Amino acid sequence: MTPDHPAPAVLADGLAEGLGPEAAERFAGLLAAALRALNGPRVSLSVLGLRDAFRTPPPEAAGQHQATVPVHLYGHHVVIGTSDGCARCLERRWQAVRSVALRDALELGGGTRPAGPWPYAHPFAAGQLAAVVTAAAAAAPTPVDAAVPSPAGPFRQVRLLDLRSGTVRRYPLVPDPECPVCATPGTDAPAEPELTAAPKYRPGVFRTRPLESYGIEVAAFANPLCGALGPSLVQDISSTSTSATIGCFSMRSGEYLRETFWGGHTDSFDRSARVGVLEGLERYAGMRARSRTTSVSGTLKSFGADAVDPRDVGLYSERFHRDNPRVRPFDPDREIPWVWGWSLRDRVPRLVPEILTYYHAPGLENRFVQESSNGCASGGSLAEAVYFGLMEVVERDAFLLTWYGRQPLPEIDPASSARPATRAMADRLAMYGYRARFFDTRITFPIPVVTAVAERFDGGTGRMCFGAGAGLDPESALDSALCEIATDAVNLPGRTQRDEARLRAMAADFDLVTALHDHPLVYGVPEMGRHADFLLRAPQSRMRTVAELAWPDAAAPGAPAVSADVREDLDRCVAAVTAEGFDVVAVDQTLPEQRALGLHTVSVLVPGLLPIDFGWSRQRALGMPRLRTALHAAGLRERDLEPAEFNPAPHPFP
């Protein structure tokens, strides 16, 4: 062996600890010999599951083994990286999809130990591994630039060798934006977003590119080795209305792992999988600032008008803080972390409390409210993402005004839809025992908003479920609302029956409604239907058509309400919201892996509109001025509401 070609195998720290000294020495020697025989590459051996990859500091010289192939051992599995990839990214992604028991042991300080002597320190296993490593090193490198087309996608491929069966599988590895070795986070700074022209790819949509053009490789985000959004993506074959898919990733919050579900609900499993990945990335991006370093800290009092006032966004009641003393109430003199957003009304940078846009930011002491993904949206351009984020905020504000204000609404005839698929889906729900009902939910703004309700004809178990949609095109708004109830309704009777005792307890005591899924599921209990009588039993003079929801353009009679450019649609909607005295603030949350796919994600806030909360004790909307005044201001009530007139039941928003 010449000095410029050292031994192929590198005995890494922890190998003896994980395999046992004898097995570690024997296997390293056998592997070195096998690699020499094949003229294989230099490798770095290590054992997974010994240390917390999220906390272990990076090596002092992170690039010292750039020419080596990282090889990680865990039981009968061998994880093989690439010489031009990051071994720490692979370790972190691997750990993120492990079982709760293993993650708790690693991340909470319990530690792990070998279950017994490692049985694979023999020539056959070493030969297998050497052959796979050598073949992988000889293969063409995977492009990591989205501009370079590749059937393998934009991410590097890693391999999983099963020493027990001899099988080899390949998985794409999405770089971890928080990796301490290879990530290059940007600095959060005030900057005007590039809201350039965003022409739609075809009439009737609000997207700049079709879904298929992003080249989303679902396996990169859902795989059991290193899935960036969890270990799997499940096809919900129990749904008889849509081809739904469901995925889940876990993120530690204190001592527990918080599960975050994502998924797609379209008419094909393939499309639902791609839509689900977009939703999963959107939620992953919005939970904390993974790709940028936030450094602004201060008080609202010191920042003044340059900052969004959390009191305008909504705060918890005094009762909540009495019952939850560990949650410190907001104080304008209290120093908290902030991030930079941009006011689309004033065209200036605006500071936003970090917890209002990154809703699971580290630092529980700063979490004076628990925000959700409300207002977070993705798109092929910033304008597209901001448009959909704003539509979500407007939609949920209108829904909450309707629900808590117990406001009757004009009903929409689904048979008037110009889309055959919409009419067919409403008929399909009827076949499963549900009447699909739709209501014109425009309150303050001329933007079309539709509330959808799937109501059981017989009033039995699985009583009703709700959905909503908003957008400049009334057909699209109705379709979005319909998609939600079409997916949920067909499974609601079974879910209600399986969890009947708990749900009936909630119906009797709303304080037991504590989680996101509690809100829609409790309305599967038949007795809960009375709380929606204000909407479903209100007298109707006539049914409205879908076309009647179109935005009337008083400034230019006869002009279309929808343009061929999403940026123009966004400008129109922002003007309508700001004309009523509200600001629209956007925070760019885009992750590197989203940029690699040509995507953007933003969080949109409209201080003063009603925020959606989950958990009966957390309903900020009940204490906000808008809930009392908006229906009167819109001409729907003769006077402002009194708190005694509010709906006494939690909202049913899914």
Whole-number average pLDDT of the chain: 91
Segment holding 70, helix H or strand E = strand 69-74
Q: Percentages helix, strand, coil for the chain, rounded to the nearest 5?
A: 35, 20, 45
Structure tokens belonging to residue 68: 């080596």
Residue 4 confidence (pLDDT): 47
Are 602 and 342 in contact by the 8 Å Cβ rule? The answer is no
Pairing of strands 376-379, 348-353: unpaired
Q: Tell me which residue of 142, 630, 587 sits closest to 373, measured CA to CA.
A: 587
Question: 64-78, 281-295, 303-317, 453-467: which range is least confident on average?
Answer: 64-78
Residue 398: CB atoms within 10 Å: 27
Residue 26 to residue 22: CA distance in whole angstroms = 6
Q: What percent of the chain has pLDDT over 90?
A: 81
Q: Per the confidence metrics, is the pTM higher than 0.95? A: no
The mean per-residue pLDDT over the stretch 323-336 comes to 94
SS3 226: coil
pLDDT band at 153 (very low <50, low <70, confident <90, very high): low
Q: Which two tokens stand for residue 200?
A: 């739609």
In DSSP notation, 220-250 reads HHS-TTT-TT-S-EEE-TT-SSSEEEEEEEE
Which position has the higher pLDDT, 61 or 336?
336
Could you read off the pLDDT of 361-384 as tens digits, one per residue? 888 788 999 999 999 999 999 999
Banded pLDDT at 598 (limits 50, 70, 90): very high
Across 94-200, the runs of DSSP E, i.e. the strands, are 156-162, 168-173, 186-187
pLDDT over 80 at 62, yes or no: no
614-624 pLDDT, tens digit per residue, is 999 999 999 99
319: three-class secondary structure by DSSP: helix
Closest CA to 526 of 436, 460, 457, 466: 460
Q: How open is the CA angle 89-274-221, to the nearest 5 degrees?
A: 15
Segment 317-346 shows an average pLDDT of 95
pLDDT at 148: 41
The C-alpha angle 501, 502, 504, rounded to 5 degrees, equals: 65
Q: What is the pLDDT of residue 5?
A: 45
pLDDT band at 81 (very low <50, low <70, confident <90, very high): very high
Q: How far is CA 421 from the centre of its chain?
A: 27
Residue 2 is predicted with a pLDDT of 41
- As to burial, measured by CB atoms within 10 angstroms (0-12 exposed, 13-18 middle, 19+ buried), residue 255 is exposed
Q: With cut-offs at 50, 70 and 90, classify the pLDDT of residue 144.
A: very low
Where do the structural domains in the chain lie, given as residue ranges? 10-57+67-173, 214-287
pLDDT digits (tens, 9 = 90+) for 423-476: 999 999 999 999 999 999 999 999 999 999 999 999 999 999 999 999 999 999
Run of H or E residues at 247: strand 243-253
Q: What pLDDT, on a 0 to 100 scale, did the predictor assign at position 141? A: 59
Report which residue type is found at 215: G
Query: Tell me, what's the pLDDT at 116?
Result: 82
Q: Which two tokens stand for residue 460?
A: 């039995």
Average pLDDT over residues 158-181: 96
Contact present, 371 and 554 (Cβ < 8 Å):
no
Partner residues linked to 94 by β-bridges? none
Q: How confident is the model at residue 13 (pLDDT cuts 50, 70, 90)?
A: low
Which of 372, 406, 404, 407 minimizes the C-alpha distance to 389?
372
> pLDDT tens digits, residue range 384-404?
999 999 999 999 999 999 999
Task: Classify burial at 79, counting beta carbons within 10 Å of its beta carbon; exposed 0-12, middle 13-18, buried 19 or more.
Answer: buried
pLDDT per residue as tens digits for the range 576-587: 999 999 999 999
Distance CA 394, CA 398 (A): 6
